[in-house]
Structure 1
């Protein structure tokens, strides 16, 4: 079982908070699509003939592609790999791209899941983020996708930024429930270096983010999601039963995946590699048959720590049995190191698994880092 990620590095405009790799010019879109297809060929052996059960178009904004361009890329994946008949095939989309004609065209492609970047149902918040869409477009896009027969839908929302009162956050969550969206990815606003938001804050044009506000709104979300029948299967991800993101779950469970496109990452259990984050250089290298990527050979400690970091974020937690498969005796060492968190109520020992408590979820990254093994 494996996954394939295709990075589509184009956006209509730059969101103030975003530090993903993208360009606001689609000038080289045709050349980029050809390069993605060529990279699929160059990296054909990376997954060692594993069956591909998920394909994910991320970015950037993949919904800037036409339905024919999406189908062509999927055809290239199918030509190079053994793709399962029931593969989950996700397209990230912005609401303003999902007009009736576009949705109708995408219905004729193998796409069977949409990830819609809503972020907020308030126009003033969307303008503050410099999003390309408005609130009415967000709601309309969800209804169009549903009316076209797509049931597997997820929405992105953001919390923890100055304009978002608790009342507005509750409204955003309720709007998602009212629209009957079965999956939510919700992220606390973070200030990444080299973004417009970071520059605004450094120049005191915007206030810094408030950690207490973010924590409070995270707890409000946990209560609302539970009350509406959603499972929190990962720190930032919630779903109705049976609507897990299979692709993202692969990342958290250590399943192999191939990332194609500029800035895309790949993992096959033994190595991790990442492509250059530059569109023109990526296209130039791929065109002459070179793979513009760096690669890291993962040590036993690397693999252990990666498993700890990802597994602890999920509802399944860290399996002590699996730890000993990485390195004999690792489970005992980890359990000893976790005792402080267990006694403070941030980690729960559930049979042979360690899981974060509700309070522990507020400190997930710090707790994971405290459990990491040192390189020998």
Structure 2
């Protein structure tokens, strides 16, 4: 069991909060596409013949690519790998790209899941974020996809930014429930150092984010999702039963995956590697049969800490036996370190599984960091 991630590094314009690798110029699109195909061939043995159960087009904005380009990449994958019949194949998309013709074209590909970057159903918020689409397009894109037969849809929503009142946050969630999507990914607005938003805050053109607001809106999010029958299976992810993201869940469960494209990461349990985050340099290197990647061999401590960080974020929790399989005696040491968080009621233990309580989810990153070896 393994997954493949393809990074499509193009966007129509730059969202003020985004620090992913992308370009707003399509100058290198055709060369990049050929480089992705070539890298798939170069890295065909990375997963050692494992069956591919998930494929994920991320970015950037993969929905910029016409369906023919998506087909080219999927055809290459199916030629080089065994792909499971029930494979989950996800395309990240912006609402403005999902017109009727594009959706109908994507129905002719193997794509069977959309991840739609809505972020908000309010135009003023979308303008503040510098998103390309508008609120009416967000709602319409979901309905068009559903009408075309795409039932496996997730939408992204952001909370914890100055314009988002509690009333507006409630409206955004109510709209998501009204659209009957089976999965919602929801993130607190984070200010990354190299983004336009960080610059605006430094120049006092925008207020800083309010941690109390973020915590309260996250608490409301958890409560609203539970009331509507959604499972909170990862800190930022909620789904109706049976609709969790198989691809992203594999990241959190330590399953091997191959990352293709500039800035893409790969992991096989022992080694992590990541490609250069520069489109021309990536293309040039691939065209000369050189993989432009840095490689890190994971130490025992690396593997322990990665497992703690990823497993604690999920409803499946941290398995103490799995910890001991990485390093003998690690479970005893971690349990001792975790005592203050048991006492505060932030974590709980059921047999060998440690999970975060609802309150603990507010401090997930802090707790994980404190438990690192």
Smaller-chain TM-score range?
over 0.9
- Normalising by structure 2, what TM-score? 1.00
Which residue of structure 1 lines up, in the alignment, with residue 204 of structure 2? 204
Equivalent in the alignment of 1:267:
267
3-state SS in 2 of match to 1:63: helix
Distance between the aligned counterparts of 1:296 and 1:24, measured in 2?
30
Per the alignment, residue 171 of structure 1 pairs with 171
Distance in 2 (alpha carbons) for counterparts of 1:112 and 1:73? 15
**Partners of 1:341 and 1:80 in 2: CA distance:** 47
Shift of 1:141: 0.1
Q: 2:253 aligns to what?
A: 253
1:23 and 2:23 aligned: yes
CA distance in 1, matches of 2:340, 2:208: 32
Partner of 1:243: 243
Cα distance in 2 between the residues matched to 1:41 and 1:299:
29
Aligned partner of 1:80 in structure 2 is: 80
Alignment of 1:245-324 (within 5 A): 245-324=245-324
State the Cα deviation string for residues 32-89 of structure 1 (Å, max 9, x = none): 0100000011111111111110000000000000001001100111111111111100
Deviations for 1:321-363, whole angstroms, at most 9, x for unmatched residues? 1111111111111111111100110011111111001111011
Structure 2: 5+ residue stretches without partners: none
Matched position secondary structure for 2:338: helix
Matched position secondary structure for 2:295: strand
SS at match of 1:361: helix
- Residue correspondences, number: 373
Q: How does 1:361-372 map to 2 (within 5 A)?
A: 361-372=361-372
In the superposition, the TM-score normalised over structure 1's length comes to: 0.99
Structure 1 partner of 2:54: 54
- Runs of 4+ in structure 1 off by over 6 angstroms are none
In structure 2, the residue matched to 1:222 is: 222
State the match for 1:136 in structure 2: 136
Q: Over aligned residue pairs, what C-alpha RMSD do you find?
A: 0.5
- In 1, distance between residues paired with 2:65 and 2:350? 46
CA distance in 1, matches of 2:125, 2:306: 35
Inter-partner Cα distance in structure 2 for 1:332 and 1:291: 41
Q: Secondary structure at the residue paired with 2:349?
A: strand
1:275 CA displacement: 0.2
Identify the residue that residue 153 of structure 2 maps to in structure 1. Answer: 153
**Which has the higher mean CA deviation after the structures are superposed, 74-83 or 232-241?**
74-83
Gaps of 5+ in 1: none
- Quote the offset at 1:225 in angstroms: 0.2
